[in-house]
Chains A and B, each alone.
Chain A
Amino acid sequence: MERHLSVDRQSMLAAETTTMTRTNPYRLAIDQLTIKSLELRRDIITMLVEAKSGHTGGPMGFADIASALFFHEMVYDPKSPKWPGRDMWFFSMGHMTPIHYSALAEAGYFPLKDLMKFRKLDGHLQGHPSCLDTPGVEVSSGSLGQGLSIAFGAAYGSRMDGHPRRVYALLSDGEHEEGSTWEAAMAAGHYRMDNLCAIVDYNNIQIDGHVEDIMGLAPLGDKYRAFRWNVIEIDGHDITAIIGALEQARHCKGRPTVILARTVMGFPVSFMFDNFEWHGKPPKPEEGDRALAELGTSYAEWSARLLEN
């Protein structure tokens, strides 16, 4: 029962929630967010070279959205991961751990040096996220098509309590091939979950090729509109647009919002750019060197930075 909170305890925590400020702990400006995106991408390449296993292209493409979410928009306390006043986010695309973990580490949930033990037995960073192992991970994931349902449940429960929390479901385009994603989309539209915001990493790539070739998904915006959602379409590398969309989502009442963020797999590394072969493999050391050179650093420099912090 150690994880179970008594009713009294919950009431007490709810009282705390109302008195603490609900704001992002960093609230970085656009130029600083751009720098943070670059740092996240350096983290991703470095940890993957060290791990010799993992997904590269998707996490690179999602770095700008993660930067905006973690360092401008979302409300949380990295020193108190279960702070009841927090917003919640669910990486339905569990394989995005390189960006998920680097964002958590940069945000202060755990030391940056932990990233160098990604996927290793003596680390706490599983290949796909495990909430019992890693602070800041709300729920374990890795089997696709479940995150939107979890987010729906968390949003529903938060609304029952009158909690001001916003709930983010971070989805891949490919996982819209899972039927359960649409069960959740239907329920969220039906129940008018306006505290729920889904963000689709719309890079048109999955393991076997381009999404449109594997299983035609377009017009995705029309599909969500038909399921009674507010739909915002943006360039997922334009941080100003990302912040604007998140704010617009916050103000939309009576409907859940989905942000269809057009991203490019591997962005901005030239030899990974829009290449589905980079979905599920790590860079070899020489590829890592080339990528990090394009990102303005080197493996020696950046791994040293991670290990020092």
Chain B
Amino acid sequence: MPQMKKTREGFGRALVELGRDNPDIVVLVGDLTDSTMVSFFAKEFPDRFIEMGVAEQNMMTAAAGLSLVGKIPFLATYGAFATCRCADQIRVTVCYSDLNVKIGGAHGGISVGPDGATHQALEEIAMMRVLPNMKVIVPCDFEETRKATLAAASIWGPVYIRFGREDVPCITDANTPFEIGKGNILRQGDDVAIVACGVMVHEALQAAETLAQKDVEARVIDLHTIKPIDRHLLIQAADDCGAVVTAEEHQIHGGLGGAVAEVLVRNRPVPMEFVAVDDRFGQSGNTVELMSVFGLTADHIVSAVNKVMARKTAKVY
């Protein structure tokens, strides 16, 4: 069993590293210092930490103002509030002006658990990726979240980074390459490609092991950056495998699956299946129960692969 760590801790630790390197790094928080784990930064750099209270819209646009005077602001709140509540601020002020604002969206996905639907962000990938100039990253584990946060500071412009609440298995390590816009192939295979992001990357790897027992070799792609999307990697996977399954802890509409389909349908149309939340709000429960009830486990990926393989064989696109 791999080591378990929180993705949000990767965000919090990376901010401290950034803070030590660059005096222009500023962190804003909306009354969620501990749960977004910006507490590490707050403790080491109190003069560059701004508590904005329960006022996300003001926090978003204040971050825009900070970027205009040369700061690199990272703001942290729950993903549901950062995106849906501040959609207009992000669209008009941050993205239309192409400002250097980095948005940390905590509590992404159904795996948030007992807090229920209001706090389980399931729409932000779609909401953020539709905006010009925005980059969207959904890392799979602690180390990848840490690297994504460091990388976000190194490029100009708005970036949305989504991370979760719970401990998740450590899949990548310090040596795993990370580049914004470049997906990682974590397992080779030519029968089907499973493209996943966030916590679903681990489920995809487990699904691939199950499939291998039945002589189905799945290529597993960790597509941590949804936008800009790695077109080359996806087209190559469609060419080599002839069938694709996407897996994400997000609504089925407009997320990773939609983004991958937009690339493939115009370049290499192949049978596709989507593992995602089926157009419904979340609910309270524990994480394991919810992932099962909402169809987001390795078993669900295996089912989707079986379905897509049947379509591939029958040439039903």
A residues within 8 Å of B by Cβ?
1-5, 7, 10, 84, 88, 130-132, 138-143, 146, 149-158, 160-161, 163, 165, 179-180, 183-184, 186-187
A157 and B70 contact, Cβ closer than 8 Å, known pairs A7-B22, A140-B93: yes
B68 touches A149 (CB 8 A): no
B residues within 8 Å of A by Cβ?
22-24, 26, 47-48, 50, 52-53, 55, 57-58, 60-71, 73, 88-89, 91-93, 96-100, 154-156
25 CB-based A-B contacts, threshold 8 Å:
A1-B155, A4-B100, A7-B24, A88-B68, A138-B68, A139-B93, A139-B99, A140-B93, A140-B96, A141-B92, A142-B92, A143-B91, A143-B93, A149-B57, A149-B62, A150-B62, A153-B68, A154-B68, A154-B69, A155-B65, A157-B26, A157-B68, A157-B71, A180-B61, A183-B58
B151, chain A: closest CB distance, angstroms: 12
A132 and B97 contact, Cβ closer than 8 Å, known pairs A157-B69, A160-B48: yes
A10 and B66 contact, Cβ closer than 8 Å, known pairs A4-B100, A139-B99, A150-B61: no
A156 and B88 contact, Cβ closer than 8 Å, known pairs A7-B22, A7-B23, A186-B55: no
In the bound assembly, the distance between CA atoms of A4 and B24 in angstroms comes to 11
B108, chain A: closest CB distance, angstroms: 24
Residues of B within 8 A of A150 (CB): 61-62, 64-65, 68, 93
B292, chain A: closest CB distance, angstroms: 40
Please report the number of residue pairs spanning A and B whose Cβ atoms sit closer than 8 angstroms: 121
Partner of B92, one of A7, A143, A153, A179: A143
In the bound assembly, the distance between CA atoms of A115 and B6 in angstroms comes to 54
In the bound assembly, the distance between CA atoms of A170 and B58 in angstroms comes to 16
A2 and B156 contact, Cβ closer than 8 Å, known pairs A141-B93, A146-B61, A160-B47: yes
Residues of A within 8 A of B155 (CB): 1
B156 touches A149 (CB 8 A): no
Other 7 A-B pairs with CB < 8 A, given A149-B65, A157-B65: A130-B96, A132-B98, A139-B97, A157-B26, A165-B69, A180-B89, A186-B53
Partner of B70, one of A1, A5, A140: A5
In the bound assembly, the distance between CA atoms of A130 and B93 in angstroms comes to 10
B64 touches A139 (CB 8 A): yes
A153 and B55 contact, Cβ closer than 8 Å, known pairs A146-B61, A180-B61, A184-B61: no
Residues of B within 8 A of A180 (CB): 55, 57-58, 61, 89
Residues of B within 8 A of A2 (CB): 156
Partner of B69, one of A3, A142, A149, A161: A161
A146 touches B69 (CB 8 A): no
A183 and B55 contact, Cβ closer than 8 Å, known pairs A149-B62, A154-B68, A156-B50: yes
Partner of A158, one of B26, B47, B58, B69: B69
Most buried by A among B61, B64, B96, B156: B61
Residues of B within 8 A of A183 (CB): 55, 57-58
